[in-house]
Structure 1
Amino acid sequence: MGNSEFKIYMVAVVGLLSVSSIPNCFGFTDPSDVIAINSLYAALGFPPLLGWILAGGDPCSEGWQGVQCVNSNISGIVLNNASLGGELSENLGAFASIIQIDLSNNHIGGSIPTYLPPTLKTLFLSGNELTGSIPESLSVLAQLTDLSLNNNHLRGVIPDSFQQLTALTNLDLSANNLSGPLPLSMANLSSISTLHLNDNYLTGVLDVLQDLPLIDLDIENNLFSGPIPPKLLSIPNFRSKGNPFNTTVISSPPALSPFPLTFESQPPSVDAFGPSSSELPYPSKSRLSKTVVWVAIVGFLILVLLALGFYIFVSRWRKEKSTVKVGDHTKNSMLTVSSSYRSHRKENETPSNDDERNDSLPRSKAGEEKTEKISKNPPPPFPPQLLTGERTVVKPEPFQTTDQNISIDIDSPRSFSISSLQQYTNSFSQENLIGRGMLGTVYRAQLPNGKLLAVKKLEHADSRQWSDEDFMSMVSNVLKFQNENIVGLVGYCCEHGQRLFVYEHCKNGTLHEALHLDEDIHEKLSWKARVNMALQAAKALEYMHEVCQPLVVHRNFKSANILLDEELNVRVSDCGLAPLLPLSHISQLQGSGYGAPELESGSYTYQSDVYSFGVVMLELLTGRKAHDRSRARGEQYLVRWAVPRLHDIEALSRMVDPSLDAAYSSKSLSRFADIISLCVQAEPEFRPPMSEIVQYLEHMTKMKD
């Protein structure tokens, strides 16, 4: 069952539960609204909202948090800045009379539902983590007056769906990854006064906007060309910087995305160096139509062949899988490790110093040394498989199940009950909220003896697809990580459909917070401390890539997943949890600035982790974020901005974090930059394995100035 099928299944289950409870549960509120809000609650991951329940209930009479009603109908849901995660329900369009939805400034991921309530007047989804494209079904929202989708990760072209939106007054699509020309139907926005399209990758000319009654227009930092229509210059608040405008009239491009299309229309690739800023030339209309026809024919034939090949591959994979016994090692269909990558060190060995190694690090192709490469086929969401270097079927023995929980008997971590974790976290209160990531929220827990722990509450919809047995198998695998630079697993909770991990608590938060948010800790980050942090993080990845069995790829390595203990030692988190990552993870990783170029093709390798590690080293060097929209367009993606400066000692010195106050040697700085340069090379096969990076950093710590 895929992600979309699971959503439909959940909606159906919630609907059946609710319908079966109509006489006792709906009460005053319209039954269709109850079903719709129950579905939304499930999709959001059951957040702690006052009054909200999974099935039935009476939102209007019981005063559910953030719910507004007119008579028996839900008229509005206002939950901005409520720390919500999860996704939006595909059943959102089932609300009978809702006119306002405000879920802005949360952490909601996934895509915007295809079907939206046609009665909506205001829809605010800004400041979330939404991915995918803007749905064409906007065309049915004839009563819409305000639409804010800014500050998300939306991609693709703006749909040509504004014909009926004559009441729309305010439209904000800024700070996304939208591309392509403006749709012609925007000329129908006869009531529009505020339009923000800034900080995207939009192309073409602005003629479609020239007759609109605009008072506030922001198109800064896009790829618009041609002359600015004179009428736009009379708009009271018009901002247009950061576009390649010229004085030559350029014909409008066809209403067709100029970029290659896959199964879904997508924008140009956003590689690790940031989205491309170059415009593509448009062919003539006659040649374009012929080309499109031939491309469509060839593409269809290729798709048929690919589908046939995939069917044969899956059939063989299932056949081979059924014959694997517990403990047998075979090539994993998801990740295959080349034989040249089997010469990893044992856990208790330490890297030897290479006295014959030249101080200068290689800057070109690392073809003289063996590198590791893993090819990945995107795994099906059902059944979940553990993402490891070698396929090892692991089932904790013996499994003991009860009505309340499942326990394992292999150096077993502690099994916590939901009630005890609620007690230790004060009912998962906001005061104990430590952070939120792709997998869910993390809370501080204090045991009766005063010991502090960190509780990761899985909230993403994908994690609820896992059976208890699959979850416990993951617990047993995570428990095997025994490394001083990896956060230790203390316990777990698998009860009443809830899945939680209980970890050691790290007093000083994350490296991201230390570098970008916490000034007190930032002041403690000397050059020596930063080099040591890089070394410790490298050792954690080296352990995962080359030592532990089975081998593991992190897939979400970034400064927010690097924790700092009381002595500012590094403890990497989320190790072994890659199979729980949502399908939107890849696009989010790319948008955050940590994603390697090969992610565009759906490939994630050990070298992709190496690339992300190089980005973290750049953060340590510069004190800048991996992706920072507040900076000038050319400086937003850290790798893209920094790489050209790494081999110029003067430019390199200028990009160092000013808080270091030049308290480092030029030799040490140069070596650090050399290592970064190796890690963030565009070609994955040229990046060194983590064991080499560990050796380079260890050599730095022993190097005399």
Structure 2
Amino acid sequence: MHHNHNLNLARLWIALLAVSTTVVHCKTASQDVSALNVMYTSLNSPSKLSGWKSSGGDPCGDSWEGIKCSGSSVTEINLSDLGLSGSMGYQLSSLKSVTDFDLSNNNFKGDIPYQLPPNARYIDLSKNDFTGSIPYSFSEMDDLNYLNLAHNQLKNQLGDMFGKLSKLKQLDVSFNSLSGDLPQSLKSLKSLEKLHLQNNQFTGSVNVLASLPLEDLNVENNKFTGWVPEELKEINNLQTGGNSWSSGPAPPPPPGTPPIKHSEKKNDKSVISGIAIAGIAFGVLAVIIIVVALSKRRSSKTSSHFIDEDRNSQHRSFTPLASQELSKDSGHDVSKDYIGFKSMDSTSIDVKALQKSPSVSVRSSVSDCVQSFNDNEFANRLNSKRSTSIRVTTFSHAELQSATANFASGRLLGEGSIGCVYRAKYADGKVLAVKKINPSLLHGGPSEEFSQIVSRISKLHHPNIVELVGYCSEPEHMLIYDYFRNGSLHDFLHLSDDFSKPLTWNTRVRIALGAARAVEYLHEICSPPLLHKNIKSSNILLDTDLNPRLSDYGLESFYQRTGQNLGAGYNAPECTKPSAYTQKSDVYSFGVVMLELLTGRMPLDSSKTKAEQSLVRWATPQLHDINAVEKMVDPALRGLYPPKSLFRFADIVALCVQSEPEFRPPVSELVQALVRLVQRSSMTMREDFE
């Protein structure tokens, strides 16, 4: 009996030990706890979440509502249909193990957070009241399998963010207010089976969807034009009503375009032979030659289908050639061809420009820099059925004079070495930024040079650049851009007062990454490559989501003529003359911007002691010293930053601001380093009470 009693006691101790071991084992990882604590305090109605706490706790061990775990890591967050409002907090990116994230059918408002669980496979934020744009951070979530953002109030364009999402099977953005053309990167969705775009305001064609393995496609109630490709008509579950499709037979595919095959439908596809392709190519080439020959005998209004007719602007000095299509009648889609500019004073096509243009028979040979551009909000000014082919539009001097109150000093946004920028305000509430070019900078015939500059920058399209909206060429030369109410990074870092909300560390890293992507686009995607030559914090504008937009690109020829030091404090040491400027000089300037983000200091500050007036000279020797880096951090952060992320950021800066250009990395390596920084960064915030 006594023996049995001891045996039972032993079994009891073993059981207790097992329980205690289990509890220890199930203790949730600290970064996951911290993220859920922040989320809980950010919600307006947290009482609906049983078990949740604002500080500490054990979500896995204590079974917090809607939370599932594997070991000590949170793997699922399902808070659907709980009437939640407020925000999700700022630490979601530290939830590295979360694969399922469902906050559908709640009352969330405002922007979708840029920071989301980075390795999620299933995200459902549908049936809320989200506004603003779809965040570009989705572009890095290459494990994503399912994304549902339907039934919100999302607006602006569907960003070109799908290049890495090859695993995405279902995408639903229906019932929002999204606009613009479909991005070319949708072609990368090689696993996409279901795509719902209905009840938005999308424009342009749906040709980009033709090669996808879709089984369920709904594009109803948009503003799509052109034709539904034959490949899409084979989809069993296809809904296309409520659009402005073209009547009549669809045109043949562009010459040189291989037949599109769905893997499950290979036997149903007819293969176009090489002879047929060659025949089409020669036929189109013959048509072009005939059009060129006949154009001299025609008026400018009817001279060619290359010209997008804008009957409301007969006094413009030049007109962009159609870059979206040669003609609805010709059937040749050159959505990536860029031909040039044609003077309205001439009645013939610029044959030299045509000769320099990419071959019209091979679409893939065209520079990636010339992408499918989304219509700007003033596209209706063009008054043409082919308005999608024009990427910029003319503004009259009188119109801009009226919108800027005669270029009043109260509308002046900034004054630089190449001209002044004014805020133009319209009666319907639209606001634009108007850059007046200093006339002394225009050499060799102002209209010709200005047209070349507009032709070049109008082709550029990237989520992190400020895109050109239009231009004015008489009597003054002006470039018109979108206006960003949040102003520039310089304003945020250096002009904010005690009542302003400082940029968080996460936001600073995101701004650095977005700006680096913009420079990478100019350096390595555009052909020929573009140097910026004036990268500085005042040329990095911030949109409503605080995403960076690089401005003043494509104007390097003007900067060469100013004879001034480009961006005092940002110039690399080798830049003693314009010809010495290289891509590595841009990298140096970008490094100085990163230093501003790190320290909150201006590149040159005469109010500091002599040893600290030059930011680069003061900071560079300390960038590899952990203690020194912590002391130079912007005080506005109040110590709220992950130390590891801070030190890695400082290491990247040190690479950029080296005095020897050859040792600075190309910008593509900076992008990769910043992406790794975002992915690795433990978002456990550190409170510094010192």
TM-score category, normalised to shorter length: 0.3 to 0.5
Q: Give the structure, 1 or 2, with the largest relative contact order (CA under 8 Å, sep 6 or more).
A: 1
Structure label with greater radius of gyration: 2
TM-score (norm 2): 0.43
